[in-house]
Amino acid sequence: MFIGVFDIGGTSIKYGVVNENGEVISKFQEPTEAKQGGEYIIEKLIELSHKLIEQWPLDGLGVSTAGQVNSQTGEIVYATDNIPNYTGINVAERLREAVGLNVSVENDVNSMAIAESWYGAAQDVGNFICIALGTGIGGAAYTDGQLYTGSRFSAGEFGHILLYPNGRTCTCGQYGCYEQYASTLALKRAVSDYYNTDTDLEDFFDRLKAGSQQEQQIYEDWLENVALGLASIIHVINPNRVIIGGAISAQGEFLSSRIQGKLEKKLLHNHKTKLDVVCSRFGNDSNLIGAAKHYLNQYY
């Protein structure tokens, strides 16, 4: 069976074909042009769907997207102004009407968690959290083998934990949110501020691994903030595993073991005895794989 899959992010739309075993058969990427708004994205999805349908005998479409999603109906229940006028659009309904296939829709970090639970970094645990570090911080939690969605499909907004009251202004309108200190954008800002010039995070990690002391201090401070927010989440959920997602997860153990080390001093005994921190198994493909699994769960 072939499932057409989409991963709609703030900067790019990844799309392709995944089979019923979760193998990525084919994948492509396009800029989202998010500022053009929700309707523009729907038009683009329809166009890309037709492109996939011409090449593959698709059973249906699975969509992973930024924003809070009613995963039963496929409606965007809330999206920030990163994608204007996206809130309220029923992505599943619009796509189904346009292409005549079954469509499922799920939030992006939830999709990642579904993929990791299926046959990735969380296949052997029922209690785990995923934290996606990027421009902001997204989250998802599995408790007793089930994805926790909350009453309005809006659980897991880890990025807006208030870490420092009256701190930095956040895109949500509050001050001092976790993502203003521990996202990869926050790390990039800290590095750029230090050097007084726009700096690439890949260059940063190269210098860090080469032993630069300045980079070491910036990394330590950032890791401290990552662990500070995580400690609160871990104390609430009591997971066996924390899975790091986002492009930075390519750093692997260089990132995960340092976060685990920082957590040691911040957690109660029972919260750390059976806890490990790892990076996503599927990296950039996790949302596509999770979108396919969500589709299978919904229709089979």
Distance CA 109, CA 260 (A): 21
- Please classify residue 46 by burial: count the beta carbons closer than 10 Å to its beta carbon, then call 0-12 exposed, 13-18 middle and 19+ buried: middle
94 binds Zn ion, rule: CB under 5 A: no
Q: In the bound complex, what is the minimum distance in angstroms from residue 230's beta carbon to Zn ion?
A: 16
Closest by Cα among 171, 181, 133, 75 to 279: 133
- Token code pair at residue 49: 């769907």
Site string for Zn ion, 138-167 (x = CB under 5 A): ----------------------x-------
Q: Smallest distance, Å, CB 79 to Zn ion?
A: 14
22 versus 229: smaller Cβ distance to Zn ion: 229
Nearer of residues 31 and 173 to Zn ion, judged by Cβ: 173
Answer yes or no: are the C-beta atoms of 255 and 270 closer than 8 Å. no
Of residues 163 and 279, the one with the C-beta less far from Zn ion:
163
> What is the total count of residues that contact Zn ion (CB under 5 A)?
5
169-188 positions binding Zn ion, by CB under 5 A: 170, 172, 174, 177
Shortest Å, Cβ 225 to Zn ion: 14
Q: Which is nearer to Zn ion, 174 or 232 (CB)?
A: 174
CB 38, CB 66: distance < 8 Å: no
For the bound state, the minimum distance from the C-beta of residue 184 to Zn ion, rounded and expressed in Å, comes to 16
Residue 280: which residues within 8 A CB-CB, separation 6 or more? Answer: 112, 116, 120, 121, 130, 243, 244, 245, 249, 286
Minimum distance from CB of 139 to Zn ion (Å)? 13
Alpha-helical regions (H) of the chain:
38-55, 91-99, 108-119, 179-182, 184-195, 201-209, 213-237, 253-264, 269-273, 286-299
Interface with Zn ion by CB under 5 A: which residues?
A: 160, 170, 172, 174, 177
